[in-house]
Chains A and B, each alone.
Chain A
Amino acid sequence: MLLSILEFEETIGKFWNKFLDKKTSKSHESERVFFEDKSKALKVFYHLLGGQRAKELQVTDKRHIDTSRSLYEKISNAGNSFFLASQDEKALYLPASFAYFATKELNEMLYFWLVAMATKTDYYRGTLFYKNNNAAQELINRYPGFRVFYESASAYLLEQNEKLSYIKSFNEEALVDAQSIDSLNAYPFVMWIYPPKDSKSKYSDFDDEDEPVRGDEKPELTETLKMKKQSQKMDDDKETDGLVAFLPESMMSIMDKVNVDRSEDDSFDEDALYNAEDLDEITLGNKKANLSARLKMDLDLAVHSQEEYPVGDGHFIDEYNYKTDSYLKNYVCINTHIITNIEELKLPLRLKKMVKKIERELDLMELERVKNSRLPYGDEINLDTWIDYKGHLNKSGHHQNFYESYERKSRDISTLILADVSLSTEAGITQEIRVIDMIKDALIVFSEALEKLQDKFAIYTFSSLKNTNVRYEIVKNFNEKYSDFTRGRIDAIKPGYYTRMGAGIRESTKILAKQKTQNKLLLIISDGKPNDVDRYDGRYGIEDTKKAIIEAKKMGLTPFCITIDLEAKEYLPYLFGRNGYAVIREPKKLPTIVPEIYMNLTK
């Protein structure tokens, strides 16, 4: 009985919501365009127009603006919160979707327009109106396409909404007090970039935990709230009676205060996400779990279900300390492992198509055939030598080696692939796929390509836990044949902890330098900066890695790094030189891109 009453109430509620929505929204639902679908293109466009590379493009949250509203709007509580484009030092925030205009093209163009506006406006200086007006003028003078768009789109929006008339009157240079427009309570105009939503930084004074944040923090594997929420700090340290009343715009509500420690609760709650999207602001408590009661330990859990077989008892190598410009002798312990008891693995079906495609490309790439001329016997007569002989005055002293042969030469190159399998590779690309899965797929596809090319190669992985334990795992050494066993071993790769890259590079350099080929390529596949829990973080790690790379180059190796870390632009040129690295924007493309990069490197 109670249930049916509730259901009835819900139905009425839904109907009422729909009715009010219709009355208050003025949009073209069928032509709605979503930021998610355009985000990649928008980012490229942002770079094209000179936007800062380190900046993110994110979805904005609604913001509250006091405007005059119609009766319906007041009842439905619509018309006072808006999704507006804004930016700060970190990111450019754009609405999640647009449906203002009658065609998809125009709604899409509004995104491009806002991205272009963002490259022309300063986010703190200048008044709102002048800033946007100047930026818009600059854009329409430079791009006729934007001129057409801006004129028609702004005219349409002004016509749709008489509350925007202040813009029109200003455009017509009527005397309007610009300050009143900049009070931020004027009806917002969606074609403008607004100031950062929260420039007062109300939450900067939160206490950090009492232990340092580690660089390789495990990213959230669940879905996250993809918008910037206004946060408000609440003092929940005081013991109150747990009843808080507050008066929002249109209703009185009573909230229970419950101490829930979200920082410790890592279960994924879809309802929470749904509710969070709908909140005006999120209030954060300052209370942490009782830290003194927490045990601090590195759990020594078995990483693998297969058996790990240590190769040797571990050995020590040096590490470079940039502060003293000297080496710490035998400071790092390398523990080499190999996984035994693995199951053979045939080429997975999902990769077959990709491998076929790459093999076709390799077929087009003609393998180097080397001509040996001046032979006493061979496939063909070399006319050059014969003519030389004919032109020679002293024929008796001539060797008369007139023949030449072609032989298909195996390319004179050894490649050692060193994959970073730190904890960060556990990160999810989608709900099902992790970075480590893409690295494994890339290793399999790449091995197939190398096998086809008959290039010598080896695969090792590394991860670390302080200087006392750098796990260095043999997946395939240079002498081993590539087989179903190798694939099984690639499949058995599990993420470890941190990224002591210098040690990984030094160990690989030793192995690769012993190869007899003329060219030696050290190919590092990584997903982030060098770092570890001890001092190996920030500059120390970068400098040690750079030193290791210099050592490798001195040994005649060519180091090259492929990374999926988009922030890598800052440190990679310093580590590997301008032509020594490639950044992949899409981790999913790793399996196809790695062989391509290799082919370009060794054509």
Chain B
Amino acid sequence: MSNTYYLSQSNEVELFQAAASMNLPVLIKGPTGCGKTRFIESMGEKLDRKVYTVVCHDDLSAADLIGRHLINEHGTFWQDGPLTKAVREGGICYLDEIIEARKDTTVVLHSLADYRRVLPIDRTGELIEAHPDFMLVVSYNPGYQNVLKGMKPSTKQRFISLSFDYPKPEIEKEIIIKESGVNAEVAQKLVNIAGEIRQLTDSDIEEAVSTRLLVYSAKLIVNGFDPYQACMHSIVESLSDEDEVLEVLRKLIGLHFSS
């Protein structure tokens, strides 16, 4: 039984289950804070598979994923990395923000992400066949523009792709209520604000307001914070540094939460 709250938006749950049953790796694209990680966690519970999450960064080495030798009082021993653990014992290995990792690191995934499903470990000379319950999931945010980073097409084309976006208004409202316990009226206002801010494109603000931020403001409001202040600190201030844009966003919040 799943304890993690996740409200599905379209057919992503069925698709993920199908991919899991057919041993296909999955790639999830979507803006920050739209529910990618939450989705994976809830799917892990649904499928009764452990989730090994690795948040990628540019210092991530192949050893961080595969494992390394460590020392104890008896000498040295080999310690599996999260990827190797999932491959051996079964489970979902979830590499979050994969394009943050260097390209040479992600090459180790190639043999796992196709029909072979094996993981070679140079240091121990092992070749591990993946457990039937092993599943590889990677995610990234396509909104980041970077020349030096990006998934190699040869990596990208090994995955079933799922595109996430911010939830539809009525679903988002339900999520906010469920996550924060705020009343329906305030939740509706927050959804309206988000909908309006998302009309602005990349030329005005770097990234649209995420469901996560809306939940934060709802939580602040539930805790007795003034709604206007809560929105200012959780939504507006982080969106832009431009005075004109900030001024307009303040005005918008003021119109929604007039005292």
Contacts and interface: CB of A to CB of B under 8 A. Distances in A.
A345 interface: no
Of the four ranges (under 10, 10 to 19, 20 to 34, 35 or more), the interface on chain A belongs to: 35 or more
Nearest to B254: A145
B77 A50 contact: no
B76 A560 contact: no
Given A390-B76, A585-B203, A50 B148 contact: no
A558 B256 contact: no
Interface string A447-467: 000000000000000000000
B184 interface: no
Interface string A136-174: 000000111111100000000000000000000000000
Contacts of B70: 387
A44 B255 contact: no
B147 A602 contact: yes
Contacts of A53: 201
B225 interface: no
B192 A142 contact: yes
Interface string B236-259: 000000001101110110111110
Interface in A40-54: 40-41, 44-45, 47-50, 53
A388 B199 contact: no
Contacts of B199: 47-50
A584 B69 CA distance: 51
B75 A48 contact: no
Interface string A591-603: 0000000001111
Looking at A143, A147, A411, A584, the one whose CB has the most chain B CB atoms below 10 A away is: A143
Contacts of A180: none
Contacts of A601: 145-148
A405 interface: no
B69 A391 contact: yes
Contacts of B143: 579
B31 to A, nearest CB: 12
Given A48-B196, A49-B196, A391-B75, A145 B256 contact: yes
Contact of A387 (B71, B147, B256, B257): B71
B200 A48 contact: yes
A44 B244 contact: yes
B5 interface: no
Main secondary structure of the interface of B (DSSP, over half): mixed
A84 interface: no
A47 B145 contact: no
A583 interface: yes
Contacts of B146: 600-603
Contact of A44 (B75, B202, B248): B248
Contacts of B245: 44
Interface in B194-221: 196-197, 199-204
B255 A143 contact: yes
A47 B197 CA distance: 9
Given A41-B248, A143-B258, A413-B147, A388 B69 contact: yes
B148 A391 contact: no
B46 interface: no
A112 interface: yes
Interface in B8-65: 63
Interface string A559-603: 010000000010000000011101111000000000000001111
A81 interface: no
A140 to B, nearest CB: 10
Contact of B68 (A41, A387, A602): A387
User: Closest 3 A-B residue pairs measured CB to CB?
Assistant: A145-B255, A391-B76, A145-B258
14 contacts: A47-B199, A48-B196, A112-B251, A143-B255, A144-B257, A384-B63, A387-B69, A388-B68, A390-B75, A579-B142, A579-B144, A582-B203, A584-B203, A602-B147
Interface of B: 63, 68-71, 75-78, 123, 142-148, 192, 196-197, 199-204, 244-245, 247-249, 251-252, 254-258
